[in-house]
Amino acid sequence: MNWKHIGTTTSLALVVTLAACGSDDNGDGNTGSVEDEADMLSQEEIAENLTGITGIEPGAGIMTATEDAIEHYNLDLELDVSSSAVMTQQLANHIENHDPIVVTGWSPHWKFESFDLKYLDDPDNIYGDAENIHTIARLGLEEDMPEAHQILTNFFWTPEDMEAVMLEIEEGASPEEAARNWVDENQETVSEWTNGVEEVDGQSITLSLVNWDSEIASTNVIATVLTDMGFEANLMDMEAPYMWQSLATGDSDASVAALVTFNTWSFH
């Protein structure tokens, strides 16, 4: 297998939003910014209003890590099992109402593009170090499609780039539309991926992905770039174990969605 770190780090840790605001104490009706008032709140003041941590699906690796963190740091908090969708909705509701909330969170995720969030300190590294998303290709791709292989090797973008595409999709754009918009608006970055690569004439390439927001964003962006370079890019959406299997057997050509994280390590 051909692995390449594309530079998108996925840090799995608790995130807290200090979204608190309101009228000044003098009653003159002036309202401070969320950031200004959040900065004035002490950890003790925030903790007084918290009774739990809003989690995601049961069995997710980050849920296990959070249970370990609660025990290790002796936190008087309950971990509430929900889902990724419920977690983000609760986050939005609390921010709208200026109420503190702690959720299980990770980057890249569109919520960091939409909200002003802060990771809680993890001094004993219970959640581990930052993790990476890789590009992986089937054996032989470099010989069969040197142009595609070079573009995939050059592919590098930041969590902020990915979150911008993810947020546009969350707000209603199709993955293809959001990817096209990002590519059109970031031609300087795209040109670094395609520098020195000759266009092809309709050569077919199959990209596999898991149906996660971050991987939908990445795969559609690279598919758009490959299409612009003359490839016929086909996307195969599948469960994580089958994505790895498809690359091993050659049923798919490449993936920019190779995560080795809390939630995926058992697939490798």
**What is the DSSP secondary structure assignment for residue 31, as one 8-state letter?**
B
pLDDT tens-place string over residues 42-83: 556 666 667 888 998 888 778 888 899 889 988 888 999 998
* One pLDDT digit (tens) per residue for the chain, 268 residues: 433 333 333 333 344 332 222 233 434 433 344 444 444 445 566 666 678 889 988 887 788 888 998 899 888 889 999 988 898 888 889 888 888 888 887 777 778 777 888 888 888 888 877 777 889 999 999 999 999 999 999 999 888 899 999 999 999 999 999 999 999 999 999 999 999 999 999 999 999 998 888 899 999 999 999 999 999 999 999 988 888 899 999 999 999 977 755 544 444 4
**What is the DSSP secondary structure assignment for residue 150, as one 8-state letter?**
H
CATH number given to 2-8+131-267:
3.10.105.10
What's the 3-state SS for 195-251?
CCCCCCCCCEEEEEECCCHHHHHHHHHHHHHHHHCCCEEEEEECCHHHHHHHHHHCC
pLDDT given at position 81: 93
Between strands 2-10 and 131-137, the pairing is: antiparallel
Q: What distance separates the 2 farthest-apart alpha carbons in the chain? A: 72
pLDDT given at position 109: 77
Dist CA 162 CA 155 (whole Å): 12
pLDDT given at position 187: 97
Query: Which sequence spans correspond to the domains of the chain?
Result: 2-8+131-267, 10-119
pLDDT given at position 265: 43
Candidate CATH numbers 3.30.70.20, 3.40.190.100, 3.30.470.10, 3.40.1190.10; the one for domain 10-119: 3.40.190.100
Dist CA 254 CA 241 (whole Å): 15
């770190």: which residue's tokens?
A: 5
Dist CA 108 CA 166 (whole Å): 9
In degrees and rounded to multiples of 5, residue 196 shows phi and psi of 80, 0
Beta strand residue intervals within the chain, DSSP E: 2-10, 12-17, 52-54, 78-80, 101-106, 118-119, 131-137, 204-209, 232-237, 254-259
Helix axis angle, 146-154 relative to 213-228, nearest 10°?
A: 130
